[in-house]
Structure 1
Amino acid sequence: MFACIAPHGGEIIPELCGALPDRMKLTRNSMVKLGKKMQDAKPETIIVLTPHGTRIDGYFSVTNSERMYGFVEENDGYYELERYVDRNLAVSITEVAAEQGIPIASINFGTAAGPISCLPLDWGSIVPLSFMPDVPIVVINPSRELSFDLHVKLGEVISQVVRNSGKRVALIASCDWAHAHDERGPYGFDPAAEMLDEEVVGFIRSNELEKMAEFDAEYIEAAKPDGIWQTLILAGAIPKESRKIHLYSYEVPTYFGLICAEISTSDDDE
């Protein structure tokens, strides 16, 4: 019922902005708007696509714990979040994807069910979810060992499963973009960062998300984005002919790019 591309820099959360509240203000304001739109959509479940969750080499991973809990610490601030998992939807996505030959694994921790069945909630999920309604979630982590085509295919499976479930489901592609904008940053500076982000903004404006699959591997490595994989899953879940994109904002307040965009679908008026 609603989808968005949202960033996950910790300072976006007001409690973590420290002494520089204006540094990510543009993005923070955009996230507030996205949160209100998400609230208006009244989702029963939110699917989060994050690059920072539990990774399994060569497999997509899907949460199947009773709940998830995590926290983020930044600028002497602390923010924690807990959400229950929509296990029925998570299992259905895993089963249907596996039936279609997609490498995918369901993950849990501790016990099969109950309060000890709890997986860590990563900052790629916590930051966007902090602005969203408190409903059950499904967290999916992509795998960079798998082809871009398989990421699109997984998105198609997600769409199929969601429609068959009859639930009102929202989708968040949690994405930061090029991480090589500043020589003082942990990844240094590379001119590819500005170039790639400019192209990504163009693809979002023109509703051509699938074109990110055409990026050269060396180009990606130089720019160091972490949003391509999640965006391609979203592109599979909401194909071009069914989506409209509204770019809210783009900024580079530190060493990595931040994009907020709303994706509305042809189902919105149903």
Structure 2
Amino acid sequence: MNPFVFACITPHGSEIIAELSQQNVALMERTRHSMEHLGAHMRGAKPDTIILLTPHGTRVDGQFSIANSEHMYGELAEHGGKVVMDRAVDRELASAMAERARAEGLAVGVLNFATSEGPLSCLPLDWGAIVPLYFMPDVPIVVVTPSRHVSYEAHLRFGAAMAQAVSASGKRVGLIASCDWAHAHDAKGPYGYHEAAAKLDAQVVELIRTCDLEGMMSFDEQFVNDAKPDGIWQSLILAGAIPRALRDVEFLSYEVPTYFGLMCAAFFNR
């Protein structure tokens, strides 16, 4: 059974948010429309909590990182615009997820800061979380950051353990895999150009369209290093959380407006 009321793969380029793209609001307009569509689906699903998987949070080498502070706060400021976000954390679900994953033999770091509870118990929200959450309902969150030092297979197992914790909680939970894709599309970008970027993104588009997220496990390590995606690990957690037989996908969009690929897809209960 799929315990999630709604799940999606989203990008996290800051200029998806119109307030942060004032120099060229049309730059990521296609993706912005897709994000608005995903946000409408999530609001319609009425989640009590949203689990957000981000590659840019507090990383712990060799462990899955689960934020368990009282709340999380972050700011994004670009092109004269600014977005501020403060979200409560569903600490009960965060603890249950960690307990379930550890019972499966997975290495998990549960993170807090400053005080055990109260207003000072606050961890940062990164752009990988702020951008997708900007389009979503304002409900408590659980933020998870995977580790690239952990096997692909372990990411599937973590997703399955996470789903078990969600099912046992009795809560209505949404799931977001925050994923940008190949970062080597443009020679003028910070990571330069590599032909692997377009090839990897094309394969990912097909894998998502066909609900075969597990197919990303077959990517060669050098191929991944050349293309420089940051979405594989979060997608595999989603795959472990929602088995392929239970996924119906709506692929919304793909574009490369700058140096990295942006994709949006919704997953519904079959």
CA distance in 1, matches of 2:159, 2:269: 14
The CA deviation at 1:18 is 1.6
SS at match of 1:112: coil
- 1:39 aligned counterpart, secondary structure: helix
Say which SS state the counterpart of residue 253 (structure 2) adopts.
Answer: strand
Aligned to 1:44: 48
Aligned pair 1:189/2:182, yes or no? no
Superposition misfits of 4+ residues, deviation over 2 angstroms: none
1:248-259 aligned within 5 A: 248-259=252-263
Pick aligned residue for 1:92 from 71, 88, 96? 96
Q: Report the residue type matching 1:239 in the other structure.
A: P
Distance (Å, rounded) in 2 between the aligned partners of 1:265 and 1:220: 30
Match of 1:81 among 85, 108, 116: 85
Q: 1:8 aligns with which of 5, 12, 25?
A: 12
Q: In structure 1, the residue corresponding to 2:93 is in which secondary structure?
A: helix
Residue type of the partner of 1:221? Answer: N
Q: Secondary structure at the match of 1:37?
A: helix
TM superposition score normalised by structure 2: 0.98
Match of 2:170 in 1: 166
Cα shift at 1:76: 2.2
> What do residues 247-268 of structure 1 show as CA deviations (whole Å, max 9, x unaligned)?
00000000000000001113xx
The match for 1:236 among 210, 225, 240 is: 240
**1:77 offset after TM fit, Å?**
1.6
Matched, 1:117 2:121: yes
TM-score by length of 1: 0.98
C-alpha displacement of 1:78: 1.1
Matches of 2:26 and 2:146, distance apart in 1? 32
What residue in structure 2 maps to residue 223 of structure 1? 227
Aligned partner of 2:268 in structure 1 is 264
Which moves more between the two structures, 213-222 or 70-79?
Answer: 70-79
What is the aligned residue count?
266
> Structure 2 regions of 5+ residues with no counterpart?
none
Give, in angstroms, the shift of residue 168 of structure 1: 0.3
Q: CA deviation at 1:131?
A: 0.2
Question: What is residue 156 of structure 1 aligned with on the other side?
Answer: 160
CA distance in 1, matches of 2:186, 2:202: 16
1:143-201 deviation line (CA, Å, top 9, x unaligned): 00000000000000011111111000000000000000000000000000000000000
SS of corresponding position for 1:35: helix
Amino acid at match of 1:223: A
**Offset of residue 229 of structure 1:** 0.1
- What RMSD in Å do the two structures reach over aligned CA positions? 0.5
Structure 1: unaligned runs, 5 residues or longer:
none
Distance 2:111 2:10 in 1: 24
- The superposition leaves residues 89-145 of structure 1 with CA deviations (integer Å, 9 ceiling, x where unpaired) of 000000111111001110000100000000000100000000000000000000000
2:197 is matched by which residue type in structure 1? A
Q: 1:202 aligns with which of 190, 206, 222?
A: 206
Please name the residue that 1:54 is paired with.
58
State, as a whole percentage, how many aligned pairs show the same letter: 57
Equivalent AA in structure 1 for residue 115 of structure 2? T
1:177 maps to 2:212: no
Q: Secondary structure at the match of 1:47?
A: strand
CA distance in 2, matches of 1:9, 1:259: 11
Deviation at 1:14, TM superposition (A): 1.2
- 1:38-64 CA distance string (max 9 Å, x none): 000000000000000000011000011
Is 2:139 the counterpart of 1:135? yes
CA distance in 1, matches of 2:255, 2:85: 26
- How far does residue 220 in structure 1 lie from its aligned partner after superposition? 0.2
Amino acid at match of 1:193: A
